[in-house]
Structure 1
């Protein structure tokens, strides 16, 4: 069972991880997964439902762990702080402190405070529920009394648990077309978590603590040598013997050294017991006034240890040893990345905690002597500046170029900061528009549930306080055009920056919001997990496939994947399942086409589902054809298509040359390789790809015989050949698919 496996993994991390912070985070996950399993066992949780927690409306923000499992906890459920409780009268009504606070804000004083926060913009919404009473206050101030009462009635059953009020203070949301990945406070916290790696710490400890003690120890014993100092010649010890000469101050220096060593040993790790240092130190502790306490064997070991270190590093006071120690001291004096991270985090103190950075120049300079005298003039490392850049407020394209936005998933995290303002632009009242935008941004931070039976995630307009203000939203032509332009630009950014990956579900959901705002009505489809696939698809998949067949007709993509020439206009094989119109003819075609990937007589249901789902992505081009046509990106793809295709193919080739640690990572890698391959073929379908294919053919030689059929198959189709029913060409080429029900013909390239 998935949840049990996650609990076991978290327990292992909590028990064996070396890092204390890692163990602490793992312990939190252990608690969450235990709560999930206990809720499932007791029947309090119904995993797969839109309302998985008993007696809880769908709009409540739930705590969700990996895989979409809920713990049953409410994110907006938190005890009131001291400031909230301080304003309550002694006889405030309510059964819990949270209920008393919520009810107080529905009184005259509370509504006045909410109204003041609305007008001044001094409120922050971190969880969607926190804007509910702000909306109540706005409705009352604007004379919509019935709507306000209806909203309060819907919120009333949960007022004893949920916080329905905002955090009072200035809003930190970026304005205009700029976004940020983190707040200043979040970036600063990550910088301050930087620590010196154990191996680096051990090296610095050796250079700064043990080396000076070692040199003094060697000097002590060298002063007892009669004759030339010992050294190694062809592996044989030559020179005088120690413990023959005893200087007058030797015992005093011995005692001082032992005291210094004892102090160091209390604070630092002990040296290796068989090292030269350890042998000389042990002999020094046993040696009283003369060598009578030392055996001949021990004196021989002292002589051997002295020869070893003198031959390797020079005698005490020699130029060779002095040069070595000078170089080592310079290394030890260099500031660690952890020290520089602390300096950089201190620079962030000049900016508002909940805000962002307007630019990086004010924090990017070399270390100043006033900040850290020992590191004056040291340049700030690029990788630390990259961490701080997560708080930089800039256009999406700039953050992509800087590497701050490094994937489609991260793009989906920041895009709501723009989308929220576009949606709020339909509201004439700037006060309500600000609350609406903050609520949308907070809503997009909700984690998705694991859903079955074609259920869809909770939509923004299902929040009761959002639905309450729906009548006061007008469709602004300016906002509509802006949404369409934002969708076009963001699609180009996603394809241009990450050509090897399909559009991830969070980004597709954000595109849905932009599509709705722009009035485009596009059939965008999500990636469905193979382990929860219900065997059918809703009608939008068929609609998207119809668009792909029409748009891609005659192209390399259509020939490579044998797209249907056209789809009948009438949906003759559709039916209602789970209150949804399904496309049974589309599902049946996916199952038929998936037979090519069936290589096992006894396939597992997950692999079998995966082969069907891959065909659904192929037939729809997973949103690419729909977006390119609707957003008029054809000319753009003609220009950049060769570059995007080359990058997608290069990624696929690089992925196939990387070793894998487990069979699961190998299967995942092969699936992602096939997805990148498909993206590259799509891009080539809009441009002259002769140079790209020639380059790909040159690379085929380094991939080995297992992957070569994929290259041959693509080249054959580009030359006019077609795959047969088994996905083969006459020259031995193979159609590359990511899912199979048994061993994959390309699997050997994974080892």
Structure 2
């Protein structure tokens, strides 16, 4: 079964079997998208691996991209009209078509609407294409009708399919240095969609509905259990049956009343039979007697103080409103259309429920539960450092999500006109939200400058010394935060893209290398890999070069001008020496070749050093080693699946590279104490780590180990072995 077929099957299973309706709906949309991809691939309308995978759609169109980089064949800025578009078409008397709305925005009223948006900044760019007609309006206001006309000719063939105008909003742009992980509007949607916990609600129903009813049945049948009467009266039985059926129809979360294994179920069954048949069997009478006496022994006789107090305690234990109900109240405090800003004051949003917010489910003064507080906190709008202090930035991947907001703000500074700068900043952020395509033959993803409306404004951009210095400062800030917070994690590709963009704005020519996927690796490297290896020769500590035995290979690369083909040959040769085998293709073999490329390039650590990104080698080495220990512990957990253990061990080996890099940069006077400190942390987690630290100490003294610790392996990973041999 192919990858695409697996994804389609998984989506179909979720769409037909998931208990949550929203999850089923999302899965159904995924399944439809995968079906479109399969049909497009069969008909030739979709070609995977190219920069323009959808026939008749140019590279600048933002595509609907599925997991793994596969295009569905649809444009992200296309599709049915939104509710807001229908409202606009109705308000201005237009046909409800995208072509009519695009064309209307070129009329005098439409241009006035766009100009007002440019002036006050109250608009949202969900997809880069939404900026096209705003750019046209700005060009017209700048008396550059020629560029505006040229742009319209470029996008004209798609006026009937793509939305080229923005989404209106009432909310202003947040401060330039503030970022947010989730928008206020998205947070509102998440809270509003929160459903009650089925188990909690079942318990609440059991204690507030069925427990009181059980007491009623206990009082009904207690005289029978005592032997005072043969059966309850007919009228009492009829009343109990009617009440039971009404409760059962309305309250379906708890099922204890339907089971003959519960005391309540026994009394319910006896009540129904006695009412229907006018009597019960001797076996039923025995069960009723046992059930009634068990209930009385546990909580008290019918009407007793003990029973009343027990039920009151139970009622109080579930009297608090459900978390979902409170979440819905908090959702009402957030704006539905604040899609390009976060929550500036999360604390104010999570105050107890006010009198005007009280509902039948949520009383005045109800506290906001921690899960809802956490959801709102994730939408906090503040400096990136403040968000990290609030634990909103827990990983390098999240840092990469936030970086485009900083880079976009920096990008805006290069446009002298503030309105155009804000528009380009939002276009930049929307562009970074485009999902990457699966590409082959070392093809590059579409660049921002390839968008025709961005190219049309390039002449109005000014990159002076002040702008370059500001971009360089932002680059060092973001790069420094990555090393300070996540120094044991490989640089994620999305963050790499942002650092490259900042380097370009700063006019600094320092290469970065992306993380390559072993399952689609084509045994070749781009020119930037050789150029980055040159930086390793310049910035690596001697211990790093010695530990991995890079000296001769770096010298060989220099003699060949850091040629990419020579680089590939060296990586293959080094991988074979590390045990990859002679196979020309396998995922593990590809991974081992890629890892050798990461060693020769330091996977961007040398690039950060060349950019003067601040780093404390000793502190970062400790941080990286803590990540190694975390991953090794995860890999060696009891009963862990072998493939998961292997994945954790591989990640630990890759994080170890960061330990080696930064330890090799520690001053010689501090190095022995650092090695001793790290060795003491190993304890009995993995003997191989103790060996690796000893080898690192020897490497800093000039001795290359026979088997340096690596991430990829062709067979069992050494970090999972019980022994510690070299």
TM-score strictly above 0.5? yes
Structure 2 unaligned runs (5+)? none
Match of 1:527 in 2: 515
Q: Distance in 1 between matches of 2:154 and 2:584?
A: 49
Matched residue SS, 2:342: coil
Residues 645-675 of structure 1 deviation map (CA, whole Å, 9 limit, x = unaligned): 3432332233223357655433332222222
- Return 5+ residue gaps in structure 1 as ranges: 227-241, 575-580, 729-733
- Deviation, 1:692, is 5.3
1:198/1:167 Cα in 2 relative to 1: closer, same or farther (>3 Å)?
A: closer
Structure 2 contact 646–717 (Cα < 8 Å) conserved: no
Tell me the number of residue pairs that the alignment of Structure 1 and Structure 2 aligns. 709
Query: What corresponds to 1:649 in structure 2?
Result: 628
Displacement after TM superposition at 1:141 (Å):
2.4
Partner of residue 637, structure 1: 616
Q: CA deviation at 1:595?
A: 1.8
Q: Give the corresponding residue for 2:54.
A: 53
Shift of 1:251: 4.5
Residues 10 and 29, structure 1, Cα contact 8 Å, conserved in 2:
yes
Q: Look up the SS of the partner of 2:72 in the other structure.
A: strand
TM-score normalised by length of structure 2: 0.90
Q: CA deviation at 1:312?
A: 3.2
| Superposition deviation, residue 607 in structure 1 | 1.7
Report the more deviating stretch, 206-215 or 100-109.
100-109
Structure 1 residues 447-458: aligned runs within 5 Å:
447-458=435-446
1:121 equivalent in alignment to 2:125: no
Partner SS for 2:470: helix
Supply the distance in 1 between the matched residues of 2:364 and 2:294 (Cα, whole angstroms). 38
2:679 counterpart (684, 689, 697):
697
Q: Provide the secondary structure at the position in 1 that maps to 2:64.
A: strand
Query: Residues of 2 paired with 1:170 and 1:469: CA distance?
Result: 26
CA–CA distance in structure 1, aligned partners of residues 578 and 291 of structure 2: 67
Where 1:72 maps in the other structure, the secondary structure is strand
The equivalent residue for 2:213 is 213
> Are 1:413 and 2:401 counterparts?
yes
- Secondary structure of 2:73's partner? strand
Change (3 A) 1:199 1:169: closer
Deviation at 1:511, TM superposition (A): 1.0
> Counterpart in 2 of 1:99?
99
User: Superposition pairs for residues 435-474 of structure 1, below 5 Å?
Assistant: 435-474=423-462
Matches within 5 A, 1:483-632: 483-555=471-543, 557-564=544-551, 567-568=554-555, 583-598=564-579, 605-632=586-613
Question: 300, 305, 313: which one pairs with 2:299?
Answer: 313
Selected match of 1:262 from 245, 252, 256: 245
Map 1:187-198 → 2, pairs under 5 A: 187-198=187-198
Contact 2:625 2:656 in 1 (8 A): no
Matched with 1:183 is: 183
Moved over 6 A (4+): 87-90, 569-572, 721-725
1:700 to 1:650, Cα distance in 2 relative to 1, 3 A:
closer
Instruction: For 1:6-85, list aligned pairs within 5 A.
Output: 6-79=7-80, 81-85=85-89
**Distance between the aligned counterparts of 1:46 and 1:414, measured in 2?**
32
Question: Is the 1:717–1:723 Cα contact (8 Å) retained in structure 2?
Answer: no
Maintained 8 Å contact 1:487/1:515: yes
Hey, what's the Cα distance between the residues in 1 that align with 2:459 and 2:661? Answer: 42
The answer to whether the Cα contact below 8 Å between 1:181 and 1:392 also exists between their aligned partners in 2 is yes
Q: What root-mean-square deviation, in Å, do the aligned CA atoms of Structure 1 and Structure 2 show?
A: 3.0
SS at match of 1:71: strand
Q: 1:350 to 1:531 in 2, by over 3 A?
A: closer
Q: What residue is the counterpart of 2:646 in the other structure?
A: 667
Residues 427 and 354 of structure 1, relative CA distance in 2, 3 Å threshold: closer
Instruction: Classify the secondary structure of the residue corresponding to 1:223.
Output: helix
Structure 1 CA distance, aligned partners of 2:717 and 2:602?
A: 23
Conserved? CA contact 2:541–2:664, under 8 Å: no
Q: Distance in 1 between matches of 2:606 and 2:240?
A: 77
How far apart are the structure 1 equivalents of 2:220 and 2:696?
A: 80
Query: Matched residues in 1 for 2:408 and 2:352: separation?
Result: 38
The alignment status of 1:278 with 2:265, answered yes or no, reads yes
Deviation for aligned residue 1:593: 1.4
Instruction: Mark the CA change 1:601 to 1:474 in structure 2 (over 3 Å): closer, same or farther.
Output: closer
Contact preservation (8 Å) 2:649, 2:717: no
